[in-house]
Structure 1
Amino acid sequence: MADKILLKNMMFYGFHGVFEYEREQGQRFYIDVELTADFDQAGKTDNLEDTIDYTAIYSHIKEIAETQRFQLLEALASQLCDSILAAYDRLQAITVRIRKPAVPIPGQIDFVQVEIARSR
């Protein structure tokens, strides 16, 4: 099945990181989510109830990314995958990518990205 909804480059301000200053000062995180499901019925009915409401997905991500705190991007991405997959029966698979531009690496780098995928 190749039907997908993509939410790209969502920006949230969160307090995630291994170092104390990251958890105190916070920073921007950029998140992509790829949702895989069968959207054939939605294509036929043109009804929101036959698909996955991406505005609800956005709110779900925002709530977790901005109110919870994680040391690792892997933990944040896993929490997003697991909670969204559990909340939406129609969803067959999810991939979450999180980019962190301000990383404590002594060199030139655009960002660090973590990608976590889950499926039924």
Structure 2
Amino acid sequence: MNEPHYEYDSDVGEEEAIVPYDEEPGQEWDEQPQAEEPPHDAAPASPLPGLHLELTVRAGGVSLSLEALQHLAPGSVVGISGIAPGEATLCHGERVVAHGELVDVDGRLGLQITRVVFDR
């Protein structure tokens, strides 16, 4: 702790100790606990719980020339980049909402969520 220095106040005729405000003698400072930030993977509270959003499931991207596109036929195999086999992303517009794994749900395609992403 820094020692106080003394100044003479000629208007009052007294000396007074000048101490920085955070080092007043006998004063203890309790650090206030910082409010914890919610985890980034936590869903924010929704003010409109009944609102329905149109979402898409994406399994990667393909870039083909017009010539390659014209030669597509049943049985053709097109390589998909950007995501591992069996994985996909759940999106709202261009924003990724979640990542998951493609699964069979009673004969229909489903997405089992593995990670939720909420951008702020």
TM-score, normalised with respect to structure 2: 0.25
Higher Rg of the two aligned structures? 2
